[in-house]
Amino acid sequence: MRRNQVAVVGAAETTELGVVPNMSQLQLHADAALNAIADAGLKLSDIDGFATAVETPQQVCHYLGIKPTWVDGTSVGGCSFMLHVRHAAAAIEAGLCKTVLITHAESGKSMIGKAPRSIPADSLQGQFEAPFGVYGPPSMFPIPVLRFMKTYGITHEQLASVAVVQREWAAKNPRAMMKDPITVADVLSSRMIAYPFRLLQCCLVTDGGGALILTSADRAKDFPRKPVYIMGTGESVETPMVSQMETFNSSRAFKTAGPLAFREAGIAHGDVNHLMIYDAFAHLPLFGLGDLGFMPHEETGRFIADGNTRPGGKLPLNTNGGGLSYMHSGMYGMYALQESVRQMRGIAPAQVPNAKISVCHGVGGMFAASGTIVFTNER
Amino acid sequence: MAEPQRARPKPTPETQHFWDGTKAGELRLQRCDACAHVYFPPRPFCPSCASRKVSIFKASGKGFLYSYVINHRPAAPGFTPPYAIAVVQLAEGPRMMSNIIDCPQTPEALELDMKLEVAFEVLDDKITLPVFRPAKG
């Protein structure tokens, strides 16, 4: 795909984030969509392309009253929205539609109008993982961690520092759920969830949503907000079974999606001013830094523990506080995208001065899928 | 109200041989007749070269501990926390998720790379699960 031909011209989260017991999941979609429409200065009737995950496009389009000529229901977990951005950019470039709305919402905490996740007993996961006591992401996502730590000499303290640094970012963000400072000792004495991970190394569980509006870069200059251009994109999937990953020393999906996006954008790692790496659990930024090629995996733990990703550090990472401290409704990718867009617009609560290129990297499932978007505010 | 039960696998036509094997006290894997690739989970073709000519064979049951978590909460129905959810590297090449028996469920006792051997845990008259214990000798 050609770089900088499509731009984000509308972006918004739900009016409230966190615990929103007065809205169903479907209404959270609508709340985010209406906020993004207003942000872009559009009417719902201007939308001719639509993408969402978990809920079907027909469900959300009918609820909103949208009559699309292009839809995408790609649902590969929390990075689905990165894939939607990639697919929407291609569709706009191909002339299939002009203005795409992407929505995410999840009543992850209040569970209103949300179908419970279940694993069918005759699926491969139901036969070859569920019988051994996996029970939700905290029991599955950290399974590779001990091998990763042994291979690369990563310490428990370094993995704890991920949560500490992200809390520093969250403290600057009025909408973050958790803002009180924490120390490595706090993390390592918090309640054990699934060894080696403790409570503060696991994401929050919240309600909320977000929406993006994309159109061609040529049209983007006529919109009220500063356009944020899609510079590069990548996507891949590996396996829905964490036990069947090719290796626990890296993610094949990350190693495919990330470099694709960098190549398409035509950038080097030193060009990146701002980075989001979907952090459902504390090890993901380490996998991400290594698999995206910022540094060898061996160096990732020390890099974060030494403060390079904290406010004022040389590589600002997860500047909204991340899934560990900002919010995590279950499919966090949309919130990472929102923060990248805010940083590129120059309006983030913890704004990185003069940031021109933002890389936003997502995961779906337990390393099952991945999507990477490179944004820029210069064409 | 009855306690929710431990998740029980429901075999499909493609996996029935595996579950017949565990019931008979065998860990069965598949090998491609064309390219010799050994793979898991079961399917009637080779995921490496796409050949449909594959054979079922009895694996050695030997392997080592590749990685694990010790799950504290939330615990799956039928499990008493803390319990380890392990991924075993089999001698023949594939990895599989399992539990470790005859071993304290602690980081000290569960050493990565420790040698393991298969054992079988009867769940009911239809399903026997492959689990692993520290290898003797």
pLDDT in tens, A51-84: 999 999 999 999 999 999 999 999 999 999 999 9
Q: What is the pLDDT along chain B (137 residues), one digit of tens a residue?
A: 456 788 999 999 999 999 999 999 999 999 999 999 999 999 999 999 999 999 999 999 999 999 999 999 889 999 999 999 999 999 999 999 999 999 999 999 999 999 999 999 999 999 999 999 999 86
Length of chain B in terms of residues written: 137
Please choose, from the candidates A187, A128, A130, A131, the residue with its C-alpha nearest in 3D space to the C-alpha of residue A160.
Answer: A187
Tens digit of each residue's pLDDT (9 = 90 or more) over A125-155: 999 999 999 999 999 999 999 999 999 999 9
Chain B residues within 8 A of A124 when measuring between CB atoms: 15, 41
Q: Is B106 exposed, middle or buried (0-12, 13-18, 19+ CB in 10 A)?
A: exposed
Inter-chain touch B74–A136, beta carbons under 8 Å: yes
Shortest alpha-carbon distance between residue A308 and chain B (Å): 29
Nearest CA in chain A to B6: A131
pLDDT of residue B2: 58
Residue A94: phi and psi, rounded to 5, are -80, -5
First and final CA of chain A: distance in angstroms?
Answer: 15
Give Cβ neighbours of residue A334 (< 8 Å, ≥ 6 apart).
A81, A102, A104, A209, A210, A211, A212
Inter-chain touch A143–B69, beta carbons under 8 Å: yes
Q: How many CA atoms lie within 13 A of A92 on its CB side?
A: 32
Q: Is the peptide bond before B82 cis (omega within 30 degrees of 0)?
A: yes
pLDDT of residue A90: 98
Q: What stretches of chain B adopt beta strand conformation (E)?
A: 28-32, 38-39, 54-58, 62-71, 83-90, 95-98, 115-122, 128-134
pLDDT of residue A116: 81
pLDDT of residue B1: 47
Chain A residues within 8 A of B14 when measuring between CB atoms: none
User: What is the per-residue DSSP string for A99-124?
Assistant: -EEEEEEEETTT-SS-PPP---TTSH
Q: Give the integer Cα–Cα distance in Å for A190 and A180.
A: 14
Q: Give the integer Cα–Cα distance in Å for A251 and A247.
A: 7
**How many other CB atoms sit within 10 Å of the CB of residue B34?**
14
Nearest CA in chain B to A122: B10
Single-letter amino acid, residue A303: F
pLDDT of residue B110: 98
Inter-chain touch A248–B66, beta carbons under 8 Å: yes
Q: What is the mean pLDDT of chain A?
A: 97
Q: Is A252 exposed, middle or buried (0-12, 13-18, 19+ CB in 10 A)?
A: middle
Residue ranges in chain A whose pLDDT is less than 70:
none
Chain B residues within 8 A of A127 when measuring between CB atoms: 9-12, 15, 19, 41
User: Within an 8 Å CB–CB cutoff, is residue B132 touching chain A?
Assistant: no
| Cα-based angle A96, A332, A28 (whole degrees, multiple of 5) | 75
pLDDT of residue A1: 81
Crossing angle of helices A156-170/A145-152, nearest 10°? 110
First and final CA of chain B: distance in angstroms?
Answer: 46
Size of interface A-B (CB pairs under 8 A): 124
Tens digit of each residue's pLDDT (9 = 90 or more) over B26-60: 999 999 999 999 999 999 999 999 999 999 999 99
Nearest CA in chain A to B99: A132
Inter-chain touch A241–B97, beta carbons under 8 Å: yes
Which of A122, A243, A246 is most worth mutating to test chain B (most B CB atoms within 10 A of its CB)?
Answer: A243
Chain A residues near any Cβ of chain B (below 8 Å): 119-122, 124, 126-136, 138-140, 142-147, 150, 191-197, 241-244, 248
Inter-chain touch A128–B9, beta carbons under 8 Å: yes
Whether the model pTM is above 0.80: yes
**ipTM exceeding 0.95, yes/no:** yes
> Among B9, B67, B97, whose Cβ lies nearest the Cβ of A121?
B9
Inter-chain touch B72–A193, beta carbons under 8 Å: yes
pLDDT of residue A137: 94
User: Within an 8 Å CB–CB cutoff, is residue B11 touching chain A?
Assistant: yes
